[in-house]
Structure 1
Amino acid sequence: MRVLITNDDGIYAPGIKALAKHFAAFAHVTVVAPDRQQSATSHAITLHKPLHVDEVHIGANIRSFQVNGTPADCVKLALGALCDHAPDLVLSGVNSGANLGLDIVYSGTASAAAEAVLQGYKAIALSVTKPPFDFTSSVRIAEKLAHELIKHSLPADTYLNVNIPPLAYDQLKGIRVTRIGVRKYKNAYEQRKDPLGRSYYWQAGQIVNVQNEPDTDVRAIEEGKVSVTPIHFNFTNPQTLVTLDSWQLTL
């Protein structure tokens, strides 16, 4: 098995190191990840400055590169230039923090997996939802899902978004296949002063609790279960197509 691993927490984050070291025991692993924290960069790519790549060491039998770009940059660069061979699978994570509900719109972790499937590769995004960030359970879940995804096919442009509760493996309540739930945030910005007396703002939004249906990723995590959500890139709203047709738009 050939595996490309990336993340949005940076190449030296504990989650990516744990994942790479676990897979290096039985797979050919290449790591291409940002050289710094890139959370909430979504699917941004770099167009107006050069991408610099440095080979680094994060573990034995792991070919590793850091890039001064976004998670999506890392995947595009890895698949286009850095991988010796095409990977069988792309793994993004393990992220320190949840990517539930519409978090995936902002998530660099999810967007790296998205870029992989847009390039025609199988991909999984993995996140541990909250502290303590012990990645022992998450890498075992990743291995289990990786073998299943290698054996089976998903529809085109579909990746798996996986969230894991911060529990020991034998304390997990199971795995649930889910749909995206609802996770809302109350926007709040703290106004502060820099050393020169200029005002700046620091985002300090808080999660607003919303009751979710049993088949959602948010509910699964609340129940101590691993959530596995298939994410697909068809942004068209089919019901609204009919509505728009009824407007009889003309020039």
Structure 2
Amino acid sequence: MTKQRPTILITNDDGITAPGIKVLIELMRQLGDIVVVAPDSPQSGMGHAVTIAKPLRLDKVDIYEGVEMYQCSGTPVDCVKLAVNKVLHKKPDLLVSGINHGYNSSINVIYSGTMSAAMEGAIEGIPSVGFSLGDFRQDADFEATRPFVLDVAKQILANGLPAGTLLNVNFPPVKDIKGLKVCRQAIAKWEEEFDERIDPNGRRYFWLTGKFALNDKGEDTDEYALNEGFASVVPVHFDFTSYNAIPTLKNWNFNV
């Protein structure tokens, strides 16, 4: 009996024509039967947003020969929901998201549309992974990431993932990646500033700027691994409960 090829759902937040998703398409075709459902325009920084106040459009497109592809007018999470419910009519064996232009390491995982698409997959019980490269340029070179993306996907297909867990994989923008390191998420934050400007009509507007503040000196973090030239692999889960805080809160004397 011929073993059935796995079904792999591909999505992203940079849009269906982004260079990073092309790399995933080329790689995942080696591993299974692929379906692509991705935003029709860039959706970076959308986090886990869903569209509830306007209709969603889902159109089949012909971009790469022999690839079933759909562009969605909504967010990355919308793409996953529509893919499962209206395109595949089943849960795929693997969901891959990316490859994102720019890191989604440390605190960036919260804001990331790339990782929220993967998280939605995990919520649906689909083994899911998000891939990101620390290079925002449109002509970013993804070549060095290829063997690592393929290896991670193979490992997930072979071994599965713990329930409720997805993987956040980030690559440094170097030609020779030293290897993969399983890490924890570094403790960091963005220190925002807002550049105040005036538009041609004399109206005030703001442009978000700021700097990334990393105060975590641990050598077991994703940021440390990336700075050392390794790809970081962080297991992420969507249960936000702070379990170590529960005993403290139970000792509070609530007055209602």
TM-based fold match above 0.5: yes
Is the 8 Å Cα contact of residues 183 and 218 (structure 1) preserved in structure 2? no
Q: Which amino acid aligns with 2:71?
A: Q
Is the 8 Å Cα contact of residues 92 and 113 (structure 1) preserved in structure 2? yes
**Offset of residue 86 of structure 1:** 3.4
Structure 2 CA distance for aligned equivalents of residues 72 and 212 of structure 1: 33
Structure 1 CA distance for aligned equivalents of residues 62 and 28 of structure 2: 16
Q: Which amino acid aligns with 2:251?
A: S
**Offset of residue 85 of structure 1:** 5.2
Structure 1 CA distance for aligned equivalents of residues 40 and 220 of structure 2: 37
Structure 2 CA distance for aligned equivalents of residues 43 and 3 of structure 1: 21
TM-score in terms of structure 2 length: 0.92
Q: Which amino acid aligns with 1:183?
A: A
Unaligned runs of 5+ in 2: 1-5
Structure 2 CA distance for aligned equivalents of residues 105 and 152 of structure 1: 26
TM-score in terms of structure 1 length: 0.94
Secondary structure of 2:219's match? coil
The structure 1 residue matched to 2:95, chosen from 90, 93, 98, is: 90
The structure 1 residue matched to 2:158, chosen from 137, 140, 151, is: 151
The structure 2 residue matched to 1:37, chosen from 38, 42, 60, is: 42
How do residues 103-182 of structure 1 correspond to structure 2 at under 5 angstroms? 103-130=108-135, 133-168=140-175, 171-182=176-187
Confirm or deny that 1:232 pairs with 2:252. Answer: no
Is the 8 Å Cα contact of residues 34 and 66 (structure 1) preserved in structure 2? yes
Secondary structure of 1:190's match? strand
Confirm or deny that 1:100 pairs with 2:126. Answer: no
Q: Which moved more, 1:25-34 or 1:98-107?
A: 25-34
**Offset of residue 211 of structure 1:** 4.5
Unaligned runs of 5+ in 1: none
Secondary structure of 2:169's match? strand
Q: Which moved more, 1:69-78 or 1:239-248?
A: 239-248
Structure 2 CA distance for aligned equivalents of residues 28 and 135 of structure 1: 22
The structure 2 residue matched to 1:55, chosen from 32, 51, 60, is: 60
**Offset of residue 250 of structure 1:** 5.3
Change in 2 beyond 3 A, CA 1:175/1:247: same
Q: How many correspondences in the alignment?
A: 249
Q: Which amino acid aligns with 1:69?
A: G
Confirm or deny that 1:204 pairs with 2:209. Answer: yes
**What is the aligned partner in structure 1 of residue 220 from structure 2?**
215
Confirm or deny that 1:191 pairs with 2:172. Answer: no
Q: Deviations over 1:136-155 (max 9, x none)?
A: 22232121111111111322
Q: Deviations over 1:56-82 (max 9, x none)?
A: 123122111110100000001101111
Q: Which moved more, 1:123-132 or 1:45-54?
A: 123-132
**What is the aligned partner in structure 1 of residue 83 from structure 2?**
78
**What is the aligned partner in structure 2 of residue 46 from structure 1?**
51
**Offset of residue 210 of structure 1:** 3.1
Q: CA RMSD in A?
A: 1.5
**What is the aligned partner in structure 2 of residue 13 from structure 1?**
18
Percentage identity across paired residues of the two chains: 40
